[in-house]
Amino acid sequence: MSTVQDLAPPPDLNSYHCDTCTYIQSRKVTFVDIDASGIGVFRFGFTTHDPASFAHSLPKYNPDLLNKPGIWVRALSERFCENDNILYYYVNSAGYVHFGINGAEKGLFYSGMDMRKDTLSLIPLSLHRTKGRNVQYVNDRGVAARFEDEFCQGYVFTARPMRPRQTIVVQVLVTEAAYAGSLTIGLTSCGPSTLRTCDLPDDAEWLLDRPEYWVVRRDAANGMRRGDKLAVTLTLDGEVQVSRNWSIPITIMHVDHTLRKWAFVDICGATQKVRILSSQRTQTPPQQLGVIAGSAPLSAGAGGTDLVQSGIFGIT
């Protein structure tokens, strides 16, 4: 039997170095009850699939997971499965999975993960209650939609300031060919709770006339189609990078990295409905590696969520 605890940085993880690899995300598992008379093994790994998709299709035997595409699972040696042992494991951008026990690195566990796909889960981001007059939250899963007969005023703000190394992903759900233009993205030092709907202009560039710190990029990605994802990453030195469908990111803006900044999106033009998610798929130098804590339930209010790795594990 095992339980998953909140992630804590393994003591020596920051010393991990690879010139061509980037640490991406980690999970931690504590073994709390081991039955010495039982037969079986503990397996763990990663998946590109939404865990909800397994609700009615989990195989009877965990080894069968190895035959499914997008799943990488291996068995842990029994000598590491002892009461109160703490297992941690992580994957880097080259697809190498390392593991350790009780804070001590044990080395490479397996390799060969396809990192070209979304091997990190994308967690719906908590949105602030302040929004444009022509947009509504469809549910509490980060989905927002502009009214069909309106063109602008589709502002939505993140509930929390954007963190360095964080990536916000805007997934297009519905488009409207009758309108021109695309998404507007931006960052601001102005806390959304201090804004009223009437403070938000029809043209996002007018925000630059306000006294707070604002940066705006109109038409951030033209020709977005249903299902496309626009990833917006804030780097440690204040670069704002965008990537369409996980292509090579390009820098579109530079911002003051000393300020707290909330991200916002104006769902305008041809983009009608989006889902806003959070990821941590970033190119972090090895000397700046960090570990992100697990997330709490989200809501379209003043709270927020952090990224959780899409890990998978089982006991047989």
Mind listing the pLDDT tens digit for each residue in 183-199?
999 999 999 999 999 99
The reported pLDDT for the residue numbered 256 is 94
The reported pLDDT for the residue numbered 246 is 76
Dihedral (Cα; 246, 311, 160, 130), 10-degree rounding? 80
Q: Are strands 184-188 and 143-146 parallel, antiparallel or unpaired?
A: unpaired
Task: List pLDDT tens digits, range 150-172.
Answer: 989 999 999 999 998 888 999 99
Across 141-270, the runs of DSSP E, i.e. the strands, are 143-146, 155-158, 167-175, 184-188, 214-217, 229-234, 239-244, 250-254, 262-266
Per-residue pLDDT band at 53 (split at 50, 70, 90): low
Greater confidence (218 vs 293) lies with 218
Per-residue pLDDT band at 85 (split at 50, 70, 90): confident
Global confidence as pTM: 0.58
Quote the CA–CA distance of 316 and 67 in Å, as a whole number. Answer: 16
- Which three-class secondary structure state does DSSP give residue 24? strand
pLDDT score of 282 more than 80: no
Task: List pLDDT tens digits, range 220-233.
Answer: 888 888 889 898 99
Quote the CA–CA distance of 117 and 76 in Å, as a whole number. Answer: 25
pLDDT score of 212 more than 70: yes
Number of helices (H), then strands (E), belonging to the chain: the values are 0, 21
Least reliable range by pLDDT among 7-11, 82-86, 274-278 = 7-11
- Which three-class secondary structure state does DSSP give residue 151? coil
Output the CA torsion sign for 137, 138, 141, 143.
Answer: negative
**The domain defined by 2-120+311-315 carries CATH number 3.40.50.140:** no
User: How large is the C-alpha radius of gyration of the chain?
Assistant: 21
Structure tokens, 113: 């993960």
Structure tokens, 23: 């640490």
* 308, 47 contact by CB (below 8 A): no
Per-residue pLDDT band at 15 (split at 50, 70, 90): very low
Least reliable range by pLDDT among 20-34, 84-98, 128-142 = 20-34
Structure tokens, 143: 């989905």
Q: Exposure of 102 by Cβ count < 10 A (0-12 exposed, 13-18 middle, 19+ buried)?
A: middle
∠ CA 309-312-314, nearest 5°, is 150
Residues in the chain: 316
Give the C-alpha distances (Å, rounded to integers) separating 210 from 122, 200, 201, 204, 259.
33, 10, 11, 11, 16
Q: Report the share of the chain in percent with pLDDT over 90.
A: 33
Per-residue pLDDT band at 247 (split at 50, 70, 90): confident
Mean pLDDT of all residues in 226-253: 89
Which residue intervals of the chain bear CATH 2.60.120.920?
A: 2-120+311-315, 123-279
Which amino acid does the sequence have at 37? Answer: S
Q: Which of 70-84, 103-117, 242-256, 293-307 has the highest mean pLDDT?
A: 242-256
The CATH number of 123-279, from 1.10.940.10, 2.60.120.920, 3.30.70.2860, 3.40.50.850, is 2.60.120.920
Quote the CA–CA distance of 84 and 36 in Å, as a whole number. Answer: 14
